[in-house]
Structure 1
Amino acid sequence: MTKYQYVDYLWDDSHAAKLDPVERLVYRSNILGTDQRITNTGGGNTSSKIHQKDPLSGETVDVLWVKGSGGDLRTSKRENFSSLYQDKVMGLQSVYAARSDKGLKSPAEDEMVGMYKHTTFNLNPRPTSIDTPLHSFITGRHVDHMHPNAIIAIAASENCEKLTAEIFGSDMAYVPWMRPGFELGLAMQQIERDQPDVRAIMMGQHGFIAWHDDDKACYEQTLDMIEKASAFIESRYEAKGGHAAAFGGAKYETMGDKERLAIAAEIMPWLRGRVSGSRRMIGTLQSDDKLMRFVNSNDAARLAELGTSCPDHFLRTKIKPLYVDWNPQKEDIAALEAKLEAGLTQYRLDYAAYYEACKHDNSPAMRDANPTVVLIPGVGMIAWGKNKSESRVTAEFYNCAVEVMRGAEAIDRYISLPQQEAFDIEYWLLEEAKLQRMPPEKELDRQVICVVGAGSGIGKETAHRLVRDGAHIVCVDRNAEAAQATAKEITDKYGLGIGVAGTGLSGCGPAVGLACDITKRDTIRTMLDEVAICYGGFDSVCVTAGIFVAADTTGHIPDDAWALTYAINVTGSYMVADEAAKSWRRQGLSGKLVLTTSANAAVAKKGSVAYDTSKAAANHLVRELAIELAPLVRVNGVAPATVVQGSAMFPRDRVIGSLAKYDIPYTDDEPTESLVTKLAQFYADRTLTRSPITPADQAEAYFLLVSDRLSKTTGQVITVDGGLHEAFLR
């Protein structure tokens, strides 16, 4: 067996021997997809032609199992594969020939996708891929179509055909760029007929396909081809000077981590506001050494302008990124903003011109003209997507594009896909149909919401409620471990998403846990800057943190306890709002701020004067901030009545104290849960609804206020108190 240096060999005979033929295909697909040097997220196709019994005739037939439309090889399961009668798929060639003979070549290509449904085996509902003909028309029983960086570097070289022959000899043939589909499948079929010794085909500016009649041999052959391409590229790369000479050598230097992250935290919310023209975007920052070698190089501007070559890449990264020629050693952030502003304006003009020059009569309307990849020397790459997972995948794909350019420039000269071909992929009606089939976005998709106090109680419940409707949640708490625990609960349930992690906080998923003490302004600013680096900015802030300090047995509240109560319940909320406002103004995107007050703000009670008056101040703080932050930010409050169940403000000793205060019978050895239930019901019985108030009840109010359901409501305090008539306005 070949000793591999540039790919991971993961085949396990003992594991494969336990699997049925379809499970072996899934296994092969998973181990190929695990190594991103072999194929990118969501890219590539695998197939096996398997003998199975026809459920209708009972006869043994040849069934083509091929990865279906969408999905990712690394995570694919059996249900992600289409199953088709192989003879029926082959029979579609005559249908295609009849239609293309009438001058309907391009429409016939698209029409054939609908015909695959008629070839489905055993009512398998998985939609088949546009690459199906590539797998069916090749005679090999097992076929791998991959997008390795090393192979695409050859495919994207000016002299691809010559290099393919030089590197692989007669083992690999060459086919020039063709859009995936029937025509490409037929071209590959003809190549195999003309060159029976060929074991693989280089697909110009796309990737390659390899096949074998044994599945393990097919896997090893795929790895062999990638290994050979990688070794060839790396030897040429080192001969040309290696890293020091890559991309024409360094033009700029990377900043130190502290300075770089400070610039990123400042610029990302500003940039997010400008690339979120039609719909809000979530960002990922990446600045590892490999990427910075490209971004800081002399050739970065030239190569970035050429754009990407592989269709899988530019569907995420667009036709090209926005490169900003900013000198991190000599220019300040004001100069960076000016260059970004000018660059964004020109990018939109270029994209509109590209659309107008390439569109067809039936092309979909022009999509968002903002870049999804922004390259800044010294700082790195900022990738954008509809959620964190998508922005990370966009970053992954541009990393692949950089590696392709590095390889192509090492062995030849990098070329990109012609604009018309790129447009015909980006605006392909089949791709548009795939977009239209995607489920509608959730109510809080594309939103980043900071929940301050998320380590427990109402804050924890609110975090779980908001993520359910699509929000990215920043779980904030003075206790860092509690914040991270809530974030982990969310990511354990919803997953971390897919794509590269990037660096630092850019690796976060749908939730991240951060520490912050809202009585200290510097920790608030640090937390919000970390949010900017992680997601690009934020949309809403919910402050659920609070404190209750009871009077002593004489009814006295010490001065330090009074001061702490106001520091957390009033001043802390103000400082969070004040620091968040700076970021909201940088973004220029509308936001929502929700503070927690209390029914006690309107009800005078014995023994809680510090808490009650602080919450009365918080009520008015809501109204003041609504005026101060209008019209950009809506500010509202949630006023709970006493929440006992699940509240961090009701430890066992306070529950017992309250039971004693209200002469509610209990025993010292009674379980805490029983004590809490008694006290909660006591408070419930004082309300009109007679039902205990829970953190989930409060979380629903936060959801309403951060959504657009109450889009014209600001300066209001919504009570969630079960109908406490003592708190009625008067």
Structure 2
Amino acid sequence: MPDFKHVNYSWDDSHAATLDAVDRLVYRSNILGADQRVTNTGGGNTSSKIVETDPLTGKDVEVLWVKGSGGDLRTSKRENFSSLYQDKLIALQDVYAAKPEKGLKTAAEDEMVAMYFHTTFNLNPRASSIDTPLHSFLTGKHVDHMHPNAIIAIAASKNCEALTKEIFGGEMAYVPWMRPGFELGLAMQEIEKQNPGVKAIMMGQHGFISWDDDDKVCYTRTLEFIEKAAEYIEAKYEGKGGDAAAFGGAKYETLPEEQRRATFAQILPWLRGRVSQFKRFIGTIQDDEKILRFVNSNDAPRLAELGTSCPDHFLRTKIKPLYVDWNPQTEDLDALKAKLEAGLEQYRKDYATYYENCKHDNSPAMRDPNPTVVLIPGLGMIAWGKDKSESRVTAEFYNCAVEVMRGAEAIDEYISLPQQEAFDIEYWLLEEAKLQRMPAEKELARQIVVVVGAGSGIGKETAHRLVKDGAQIVCVDLNEEAAQATAKEITDKYGLGIGVAGSGISGCGPAIGLAANITDRESIRAMLDQVALAFGGFDHICVTAGIFVPSDTTGHIPDDKWGLTFSINVTGSYFVADEAAKTWREQGLRGNLVLTTSANAAVAKKGSLAYDTSKAAANHLVRELAIELSPLVRVNGVAPATVVKGSAMFPRDRVIGSLAKYDIPYSDDEETESLVGKLAQFYADRTLTKSPITPADQAEAYFLLVSQRLSKTTGQVVTVDGGLHEAFLR
């Protein structure tokens, strides 16, 4: 097994031997993509030219299997690869040659992408990548196109061509920056013809491509090139002083971790409100040693202003990040806010100027001019995306950009793509068409919902209901394990998203589980600060936590139980609202608060004195808070009737007590599920709809109230009681 220091060698002969040719390509792709030092998330592509039986003629034909448009090498499966007749792809060169206006950035160049569909083998529906010609026109049976930081550091160096020759000798050729597509494929084909011994090409400011007729050799050679580049860079880096001298040395000091986190918690919701003027963003912070080394450095302002080089990077991180020249040792939070405000204003102006200077007559309309990466000395990096997964990947890509800059500065001088070239990638009509083909965002996309009481019952069901429509969910419960269990159920179902574990990037999927005691302000504040650190802020809160303490047989309830009932069912909701209001006002984004009351609030009955009166108070709390928090926050309530199935308020002993109270026949050894079913049906029979009420029924009401479907409704209590006529308003 080769001994590599800067990449992982993962090829397993015994496993590869069990696979057919296509699955060997998938295997090679997966192990290449699994190492972030080899290629970034969603970046790069691989291919194999495989002899297949033509379903039309029954003859053997050569088929190019190549990673299709979109997807990620690490997780790609067979269905993520396009299959194309190789001879028909080669024949497209004649089609292209016959076009009157050929060349980069011409209509003819872009028209060729649609022609790939005419070369599809065996009706494979996977759309082909724009990189397809690169793989087809090179003679190697197996081709790897990767975006390793070490290689891009050379590609993004001022003297890239000379460095390529110095480091790799005659093994690797060079092609200057060209936008991926047909012309680049033809250029590579010509380079290979002129240099028959070459097995790789350095792609200026982009990455590299390598090939061989043996897939294992191709894989190993890809790693060898990356290893050689990394060794060269690290030797030069250490020779210039290593970490201590990186990026011109340190200008600022890192704040202590506790202070960093407290500052992030204070600044993030405020900042989220300001970058979410067009569309809401979800945040990810990173404050590990590597990113702090960069943001604290003397060279950070210069390098940040240059922006990124590799197209894969800036499509995620925009043309450049926002760097805030804040001194963490001498300036306070107000100074940071002022500098962020001014920085954001200037960033938007710069982006508009970039758009106006570079746009074409047919360019798409200008996109959101707010930054997706914010760099703050002493604190670290904040990345923004449409959801947690995208913001983590944005952070990952800027990490790659920082590593590229570190390498390029160690061996030469870092350069970025010219703005016009960057614009032509960012606003490429083919890229715009791909964006337009993407499914519409879900109803609660880009929104963060805190569900208090998510460990069980209605709260748990509500968390599952809201994430289904795209929300990021914060599961909160007094029982932290229960909250985390619900969050785990959600992440197990919907995935953690893409991103790098162990990279220093704060990671979570579409849900997290946190503990909070809603009768304790400090506990609530601590929880909301954790939400800010995880997502950047929040949009809506659903309070489903509650307690029911029955009266004893004489109708008496102890004073402490009376106080506890009101503390949880009324005061707790007020505390949550009052603490959340501070964050809502900082963000300046409209939100929703939904409290849980009860049909019992309107129906007096024996045996639940404290519960019923507390819920009546909760009903009025909804109305009072609707006034207090308007117009920024709508406040409504959900009033369930007795939800038995799935409710934490109905343990076995309470169910048995209720069955006995209502003279419903049961046996002591009867299964709990059966007992619950009897009681649920009894309550259902008292309603107009005659159907048992479930947590899912309640969850639907919470969904309606946090969505925009009832956007003009506030101060109202929505009953979900199956039609309990005793609770009708009167």
TM-score higher than 0.5: yes
Aligned to 1:2: 2
Amino acid at match of 1:500: V
Aligned to 2:110: 110
Q: Which residue of 1 aligns with 2:418?
A: 418
Contact 1:392 1:502 in 2 (8 A): no
C-alpha separation in 1, matches of 2:671 and 2:129: 59
Aligned to 2:497: 497
Q: Is the 8 A contact 1:11 1:216 kept in 2?
A: yes
Which amino acid in the other structure matches residue 331 of structure 2?
E
Question: What is the aligned partner in structure 2 of residue 61 from structure 1?
Answer: 61
Q: Which residue of 2 aligns with 1:199?
A: 199
User: Equivalents in 2 of 1:687, 1:130: separation in Å?
Assistant: 61
Structure 2 residues not aligned, in runs of 5+? none
Correspondence for 2:706: 706
Q: 1:437 maps to what in 2?
A: 437
CA drift of 1:29 comes to: 0.2
Match in the other structure for 2:454: 454
Confirm whether residue 162 of structure 1 aligns to residue 162 of structure 2.
Answer: yes
C-alpha displacement at 1:500, in angstroms? Answer: 2.5
Instruction: Please say if residues 287 and 503 of structure 1, whose CA atoms lie closer than 8 Å, have aligned partners that are also in contact.
Output: no
The code of the aligned residue for 1:280 comes to R
SS at match of 1:459: helix
Kindly indicate whether the alpha-carbon contact (under 8 Å) linking 1:99 and 1:105 is maintained by their aligned counterparts in 2.
Answer: no
Match of 1:482 in 2: 482
Instruction: Give, in whole Å, the separation in 1 of the partners of 2:96 and 2:287.
Output: 48
After TM superposition, the structure 1 = structure 2 runs for residues 50-89 of structure 1, keeping only pairs within 5 Å, are 50-89=50-89
Is the contact between residue 505 and residue 534 of structure 1 (CA under 8 Å) also seen in structure 2? no
In 2, Cα distance between equivalents of 1:675 and 1:183: 73
Deviation at 1:506, TM superposition (A): 2.5
- Alignment match, 1:540: 540
1:645-685 Cα offsets, whole Å, 9 max, x none, are 11000001111111111111111111111111111111111
Aligned pairs for 1:535-684 (under 5 A) are: 535-684=535-684
Partner amino acid, structure 1, of 2:233: I
Amino acid paired to 2:241: G
Instruction: Give the Cα separation in 2 of the matches to 1:323 and 1:502.
Output: 25
Question: C-alpha offsets along residues 363-382 of structure 1, whole Å, 9 cap, x if unaligned?
Answer: 00000000000001111110
Q: Which 4+ runs in 1 deviate beyond 2 A?
A: 100-105, 500-506
Q: Distance in 2 between matches of 1:634 and 1:504?
A: 37
Q: Which amino acid aligns with 2:513?
A: G
What is the DSSP-based 3-state SS (H/G/I as helix, E as strand, rest coil) of the residue aligned with 2:461? Answer: helix
1:101–1:670 distance in 2 versus 1, CA, 3 Å: closer
**Distance of aligned partners of 1:503 and 1:108 in 2 relative to their CA distance in 1, 3 Å threshold:** closer
Root-mean-square deviation over aligned CA pairs: 1.0
Instruction: Measure, in 1, the Cα distance between the counterparts of 2:254 and 2:128.
Output: 45
Partner of 1:324: 324
Q: Which aligned pairs between 1:183-198 and structure 2 lie closer than 5 A? A: 183-198=183-198
CA offsets, 1:279-323, max 9 Å, x none? Answer: 100000001101110011000000000000000000000000000
**Structure 2 contact 328–378 (Cα < 8 Å) conserved:** yes
C-alpha deviation, 1:38, in angstroms? 0.3
Q: Within 5 Å, give how 1:305-454 maps onto structure 2.
A: 305-454=305-454
Find the aligned partners of 1:403 and 1:104 in 2 and give their Cα distance.
Answer: 30
The offset of 1:105, in angstroms, is 6.4
Per-residue deviation, 1:504: 7.9
Q: What residue in structure 2 maps to residue 175 of structure 1?
A: 175
* Aligned amino acid, residue 371 of structure 1: P
Who is 2:235 aligned against?
235
Report deviation, 1:257.
Answer: 1.1
Cα distance in 2, alignment partners of residues 535 and 588 from structure 1: 16
CA distance 1:17–1:100, shift in 2 (3 Å)? farther
Q: 1:572 is matched by which residue type in structure 2?
A: G
Aligned equivalents of 2:521 and 2:505: distance in 1?
21
For each residue in 1:102-146, what CA deviation from the matched residue of structure 2 results, as whole angstroms up to 9, or x when unmatched? Answer: 789611110000000000001111000000010000000000000
Structure 1, unaligned runs of 5 or more: none
Task: Give the Cα–Cα distance (whole angstroms) in 1 for the partners of residues 22 and 163 of structure 2.
Answer: 36
- TM-score by structure 2 length? 0.99
Q: Calculate the TM-score normalised by the size of structure 1.
A: 0.99
Whether the aligned pair in 1 keeps the contact of 2:268 and 2:537 (CA below 8 Å) is yes
DSSP-derived class of the 1:88 partner? helix
Q: Using the TM superposition, give the Cα deviation of residue 189 of structure 1 relative to its aligned residue in structure 2, in angstroms.
A: 0.5
Superposed, 1:502-513 pairs within 5 Å as: 506-513=506-513
CA deviation after TM superposition for structure 1 residue 256, in Å: 1.1
* Kept in 2: contact 1:683–1:692 (CA 8 A): yes
Secondary structure at the residue paired with 1:99?
Answer: coil
Native 8 Å contact 1:71 1:80 kept in 2: yes
Cα 1:66–1:258 change in 2 (3 A) is same
- Matched residue type, 2:660: A
CA distance in 2, matches of 1:240, 1:100: 52
**1:726 is aligned to 2:726:** yes
> Would the alpha carbon gap of residues 447 and 501 (structure 1) be closer, same or farther in structure 2, given more than 3 Å must change?
farther
Which letter maps to 2:366?
A: M
Correspondence for 2:686: 686
Worse-matched range after superposition: 417-426 or 250-259: 250-259
From the superposition, tell whether residues 502 and 632 of structure 1 become closer, same or farther in structure 2 (CA, over 3 Å): farther
Deviation, structure 1 residue 101:
4.9
How many equivalent pairs are there?
Answer: 730
Map of 1:470 onto structure 2: 470
Asked if the contact 1:157/1:415 (under 8 Å) is kept, the reply is yes
Q: 2:286 corresponds to which letter in structure 1?
A: Q
Partner secondary structure for residue 106 of structure 2: helix
Query: C-alpha offsets along residues 309-340 of structure 1, whole Å, 9 cap, x if unaligned?
Result: 00000000000000000011111110000000
| Aligned partner letter, 2:618 | A
**2: distance between equivalents of 1:602 and 1:176?**
75
2:593 is paired with a residue whose SS is strand
Check conservation: 2:396, 2:505, Cα contact below 8 A: no
Separation of aligned partners in 2, 1:670 and 1:119: 66
> 2:45 and 2:650 mapped to 1: Cα distance?
56
User: Which residue pairs with 2:33 in the alignment?
Assistant: 33
Q: Note closer, same or farther for the CA distance 1:503–1:637 as it changes in structure 2 (3 Å cut).
A: farther
Deviations 1:71-124 (A, max 9, x none): 000000000000000010001111111115578961111000000000000111
Q: Hey, what's the Cα distance between the residues in 1 that align with 2:255 and 2:333?
A: 13
Deviations 1:389-422 (A, max 9, x none): 0000000000000000000000000000000000
The CA deviation at 1:607 is: 1.4
Q: Deviations over 1:189-225 (max 9, x none)?
A: 1110001011100000000000000000000000000
